[in-house]
Amino acid sequence: MPEFDLLVIGGGPGGYVAAIRAAQRGLRVCVVEKERPGGVCLNWGCIPTKAMLRSAEVFQTVTTAAEFGIHAENVRYDFAAVRARKDAIVKELTDGVASLLRANGVTVIEGHARFTGPTTVEVLEVGASPVFDGGPRYAAAPGTRVREVSARDVIVATGSVPADLPIPGADLPGVVTSDGAFGLTEVPQKLVVIGGSAVGAEWASLFAAFGSQVTVVEMRDRLVPAEDEEIGRALGRSFTERGITVLTGATVTAIADGSPLRVSVSGPQAGDLAADVVLVGVGRKPNTGQLGLDIAGIATDTRGFIEVDDRLRTGVEHVSAIGDVTGRALLAHVASHQGLTAADVIAGHDARIDYSVIPAATFTHPEMASVGLTEAAALAAGHQVTVAKFPFAALGRARTFGETEGFVKIVAGRTHGEVLGVHIIGPSASDLIAEGALAISLEATLDELADTIHAHPTLGEIGMETAMAGLGLPVHIAPRKR
């Protein structure tokens, strides 16, 4: 008889949520995790970056406090204290996850897991480096503790790691990934960020706030190219106004050693850039290299991601996969919902994952958030659309808040006014996007958004105001000329 009903490999936002849900469904559950619980999100991604971005935001607010009638002298930041606050928050939250797992009766084994069969693994104790001999077992040092674990069902939730940059000099000291950036003990004077997507843009925004001379190199024609085109171009203008150099349509071809490093860039503004630190933010790859997927017979696509169906099942019976390793959407909240779905399916419930409404947020300054179709995607899908926009500058709460940059853009169907996409750049975008996600989920229309009474004065009013603009009935901005 298997030792557990369910074995979850990886304790990130997908894995620990799946484990808790499965335990709530009455299953005997084990989680194998080689680091602190919480995965990349809690330890190296979502939470620590947002903690440091909040420090940067507070610093910026204090340095501009005179605009609010508040005068502060000798304002400075303590980067060591910024990092210490981040570490304290991370520890509190990871300890909280560990406590939740215990409270739900989940067994947690610390170590590296590797398949020895479809539903069996061996776990190498934490502290020992796993070296594999090409066969089904670890080539572990004598005395290293290896534990055999079996389960009726297995969920692979091992997440992702930063992708390698295949250029000369990418392995030089001073070249760091988004994970490695947390090891920086001081703010670099000159920083080059390779990649202008969400990860690169957040780090650029953070270090610029602390005074770094930041250059962002993005190979596409705008920043955050996955976002609506108007949002990406607005962020580029905002970065430029803040003193961040933005090079689009550009590619880093090499990094040369030296003090400072020399970064060679090709494109319209080709040349060499000087950098104390080069931060590589060009994407992530599945963290499956030493998992032994082939031993279990688990198939991957050409990029190495595990292929799953809408119930998160792989092609191997009793083996599921969730989170970044599936390559569907590398977002913590998607991993969590995949975890809930997979656990329910394994527990015998009829559940499926729906990817049609996935909100995303990027915590730059200003923030960005989106859900649903961009204008270009809606047109490409054959929709006839109405596009509505409303600026934060016309919102009373934004004026009192002192944050008037940006706008909300709603993409709706022209005939019925159904909301197809919502795109925000501006204050609290990450919180405001929830209304957009709910609108799409409930198939709401511009009429319904406009007719919903919103509290005043709030930032949330902007959804109603944008909908009224889309109906050609704006109150607080001039109507568009027909």
Eight-class DSSP state of 77: -
Instruction: Tell me which residue of 83, 2, 112, 10 sits closest to 336, measured CA to CA.
Output: 10
Catalytic, out of 349, 383, 423, 456: 456
Under CATH, to which class is 4-43+89-161+285-346 assigned? alpha beta
Predicted confidence band of residue 132 (pLDDT cuts 50, 70, 90): very low
- Decide if 456 is catalytic: yes
Q: Does the pLDDT value for residue 141 go beyond 50?
A: yes
- Write out the DSSP string of 92-130: HHHHHHHHHHHHTT-EEEEEEEEEEETTEEEEEETTS--
- For residue range 178-202, list pLDDT tens digits in order: 888 999 999 999 999 999 999 999 9
Instruction: Tell me which residue of 461, 368, 446 sits closest to 413, measured CA to CA.
Output: 446
CA–CA separation, 222 and 39 (whole Å): 31
Under CATH, to which class is 366-470 assigned? alpha beta
Q: Does the pLDDT value for residue 174 go beyond 80?
A: yes
* pLDDT average, residue stretch 340-356: 96
CA–CA separation, 158 and 91 (whole Å): 20
- The full set of domain ranges for the chain reads 4-43+89-161+285-346, 175-282, 366-470
CA–CA separation, 264 and 197 (whole Å): 20
Spatial contact of 114 and 289, defined as CB atoms under 8 Å apart:
no
Indicate if 175-282 has the same CATH topology as 4-43+89-161+285-346.
Answer: yes
Q: Does the pLDDT value for residue 137 go beyond 50?
A: no
pLDDT at 61: 93
Predicted confidence band of residue 134 (pLDDT cuts 50, 70, 90): very low
The helix/strand/coil state of 18 is helix
Q: Does the pLDDT value for residue 143 go beyond 90?
A: no
Under CATH, to which class is 175-282 assigned? alpha beta
